Amino acid sequence: MIGLKNVIPIFISLMAVILFPGFLLAGPQNQGGKMADIILINGRVWTVNPSQPEAEAVAISQNRIVLVGSNSAAKELARPGSRIIDLKGRFVLPGFIDSHTHFLNGGLALRSVQLRDCHSKEEFVKRIADKAKELPSGAWILNGDWDHQQFHPAELPRKEWIDAITTENPVCVNRLDGHMVLVNSVALKLAGITKDTVPPSGGEIMKDPLTGEPTGILKDAAADLVFSIIPEPRFSEKLEAVRKALEEAAKNGVTSIHDMSDAFSFEVYQELLRRGELTARLYVYFQIPEIDIFLKMRIKSGFGHPFLRLAGLKGFVDGSLGSGTAYFFEPYSDNKNSCGLLAAHMFPEGIMEKRLRQAEAGGLQVAIHAIGDRANALLLDMFEKIFKESGSRDRRWRIEHAQHLRESDVSRFGQLKLIASVQPYHLIDDGCWAETKIGPRRARMAYAFNSLLRAGATLIFGSDWTVAPMNPLSGIYAASTRRTLDGRHPDGWIPEEKISVEEAIKSYTLRAAYAEFSEKEKGSLEPGKLADLVVLDQDILKIKPEEIIKTRVLLTMVDGRIVYAEPDLIKP
């Protein structure tokens, strides 16, 4: 339960949203269509608006689009001082919406040791050694985003790899999926973890089969034993981390973020909003154990400011495939003794369903992580039971990842009007090795984007940053080609699940806006909607999907302001 002393800071932050007039959520305003502050001409504009799919110009007044149409019509709205930008045939889309990030943590990770592209034990060890030399004694080495599947041979790291080079620094570096960490002996000692430590529910402490000693690998809830003793970053460090994350979003054309966060990240976003420094719109989910914050204050999903809104609740049913903690009906192909793990949010038994019922009664949106086929089936069963008892409502509930499904469960997404919040870049990464863990039969329904669309699910895309790059163009490439990173599937891994580039764009724009109840405000380029857009250097609808990965963002606009532009191409 959340104590009153923990709720008070959140209450103060949220009351600021009420007390300041500028914090009222603005609906579409009639801009009159008389004059424009910024006019984009000579573009190839794809609007994601079925009633007017294409145009060549966009006119903007303050923070709203006032015209989407011809060059001549747009120029008629010019006034002295209007800024006219000649796009010279470049491609314009609504601003991308990244529907799944860990935004503050992503910003913090940008300053940490970088292990994502390590392809060997030697390289992994060297980078940690180099980071230890940079840091003072006692400072933690964190983050990392390593992937042991890239090592040759693929093997899990052990504390013995790094103990000799980190005698003065505790280490807790995570696998890129966030469901497994490597810690050194210093960190194990600080956390009081020994061979006799019993792992918490939803976690695993890996131990050497000969000695029984911890190897340094902690899975899911077991990592909390170390997370709980890591010093909290200073508030100033958090502010700077979010600034870096906002820069990363802007250069990738991301204008809105769905952040899988927690209650105490909110104060950082609130402060940046107060300072006028937010350059992307944040739709923030709290962890489902924090549900009392919403219930005590009777907050509904969507409350807040146009740049900072409370989304609802994020929960976990299981772990991840790469960590061997995704929850399946059958054992792993490479570990016949394990079907995975249920996450800590599932304990004690029945607590997840109880909290979902509370969310339903409170009018809250939920976004629940489920990766393995059994995890998805369990969650679908809970949703179906609650919906049947409560009756029809515009819930827009989400399953995050929906990664491995039974064919019999795919249709339930449409029947229950669910949002499948998926991360296409993961498929071209996991596709390099997934079949070694679950075999080709189960892999057939991995990342079943086309099947989900045909079943009537609302398919939205995100990155899970920093698990994958916060780059929607790489996600569009992944969804439309399904070419794995190892080059072994030039025609696509499970090619029947490819989707068109048009559908992929919709999943990063209008469908993602729908997922946050904002489809009347953004997600397409239409008069009256917010002036959030992106300009690309080539038309991704006309080039081969394989070439999309080479496309560059030239300009990003949020709320009528240019927040990123390549100086040699389009002057900001």
Residue of 374 and 13 predicted with greater confidence? 374
For 130-135, the CB contacts below 8 A with 24+ separation are 132/165, 132/166, 132/168, 132/169, 135/169
User: How far is the CA of 248 from the CAs of 96, 110, 276, 484, 545, in angstroms?
Assistant: 13, 10, 18, 24, 24
Domain boundaries, the chain: 31-89+525-572, 112-227
Buried (b) or exposed (e) across 418-430, using 16+ Cβ within 10 A? Answer: bbbbbbbbbbbbb
31-89+525-572 to CATH, choices 2.30.40.10, 3.30.70.1450, 2.70.70.10, 3.30.70.980: 2.30.40.10
Q: How confident is the model over 53-94, as pLDDT tens digits? A: 999 999 999 999 999 999 999 999 999 999 999 999 999 999
User: What stretches of 212-307 show up as alpha helix (H) in DSSP?
Assistant: 224-227, 235-251, 266-274, 291-297
> Which residues does 28 contact at the CB level (< 8 Å), separation at least 6?
64, 520, 521, 528, 529
**Type and span of the H or E element at 17:** helix 4-19
The CA dihedral of 291, 296, 301, 302, to the nearest 10 degrees, is: -130
Max CA distance (Å), the chain: 79
Tell me the one-letter amino acid at 164.
A
Cα 502 to Cα 506: distance, rounded to the nearest angstrom: 6
- Provide the token pair at 296: 């005590």
What is the band of 111 on the pLDDT scale with cuts at 50, 70, 90?
Answer: confident
CATH C-level class of 112-227? alpha beta
Buried (b) or exposed (e) across 548-559, using 16+ Cβ within 10 A? Answer: beebebbbbbbb
What is the band of 13 on the pLDDT scale with cuts at 50, 70, 90?
Answer: low
Cα 300 to Cα 294: distance, rounded to the nearest angstrom: 7
Is cis: bond before 509, omega within 30 of 0?
Answer: no
pLDDT exceeds cutoff 80 at 10: no
Q: How far is CA 97 from the centre of its chain?
A: 10
pLDDT exceeds cutoff 50 at 495: yes
Cα 442 to Cα 300: distance, rounded to the nearest angstrom: 38
- Residue 567, pLDDT score: 82
Cα 251 to Cα 387: distance, rounded to the nearest angstrom: 40
- Residue 21, pLDDT score: 36
In this prediction the pTM is: 0.90
**Type and span of the H or E element at 191:** helix 185-191
In the chain, % of residues over pLDDT 90: 91
What is the band of 263 on the pLDDT scale with cuts at 50, 70, 90?
Answer: confident
pLDDT exceeds cutoff 50 at 520: yes
